[in-house]
Amino acid sequence: MAKSTDGRNGHPGNGRNGDARNGKSRRMPRRRRAVSASITSLPRLAGGQPVTARGSLVIIGGHEEKEGRALILREVARRVGKGKLVVATLATEEPKEMWRDYERAFTALGVQRLEHLDVSSREALLRDGRPDVLEGASVVFFTGGGQLRITTTFGGTELCERVQEFYRRGGTIAGTSAGASVMSDTMLVSGRSDESHRIGTSLQMAPGLGYIKDTIIDQHFAERGRIGRLLGAVARNPRLLGLGLDENTAIVVEEELRFRVIGDGAVYVVDGRGLTATNLTEEDEDRAMSVFNVRLHVLSQGDEFDLQAREPLLGPAEPVEQDLAGANGR
């Protein structure tokens, strides 16, 4: 005799609840239990999303030094090692000039294998997915320009998925300026700077590439007075951790769990989880925004930040420079 099945879950039983009518709880199928257990056992960020990557990120606030000390590019070069550095100029309207600048800078820092990833259009990338570009690569570096140029050309393509897998398996992704903004799952594209954020001020946000979750990143931060717009972005969704990076300043993120600051400037961390009130939905559009009980941390070189606990850790700056200088043999 054929067994009756529940149309929703395929378990033997009578009607929708299977054995529940007999006082027995339904058991989750073994395979589903195993998957569920593996997901719940993953470490989670403070915003709730599981950590799934084993790779590293070097997120740069723009205008990093390309000569002299060049601490940030030294860190990128150190991670290239004997592998290959892929320089992706997807964000800029002048890819050849950008490529020449970085080829010169990284060659001077001892990088021996470099490859230029330049894509004229999304259509071109769909025709030729450049499957060989990641062969032997240890770092992918996104240059500056316009962040929407990266996501609209690159997002959702086969190459984009390959880079995601490269990162999940332990590769390093670096990005400066626009290349930094695309790292988060929510990307801040534009908004007014140099003034207090007003309720009616337009902030353009869009989905990013999602290498670092539960965050939103802004760059050229102190130089362009962007604290107001980052506060405005966090107030719109306090789940997101706001990260504002000064120029010639970077964070090195390890496995989405912790980051360390390198460079000359500061990193501003805006944590809105404890936000108790805002007037964003209550007042006229020309009114200045109010936000209460937002936490602000300011970190400099050597300091670290725990992305799970959302807590900073004070660290010494000098050993960072000594370590990078020694790593590059200079």
User: Among all residues, which ones are annotated catalytic?
Assistant: 177, 195, 220
Residues 58-74 as b/e (b if ≥16 CB within 10 A, e otherwise) read bbbbbbbbeeeebbbbb
What spatial distance separates the first Cα and last Cα of the chain, rounded to whole Å? 80
Beta bridge partners of 269: 243, 297
Strand-by-strand arrangement of the 304-306 sheet: 114-117, 84-88, 137-142, 172-176, 56-60, 249-254, 258-263, 304-306, 311-313
- On whether the CB atoms of residues 324 and 273 are closer than 8 A, the answer is no
Place of tokens 């001892």: 110
Which tokens sit at 256?
């989405």
- Give, to the nearest 10 degrees, the angle between helix 71-80 and helix 318-327: 50
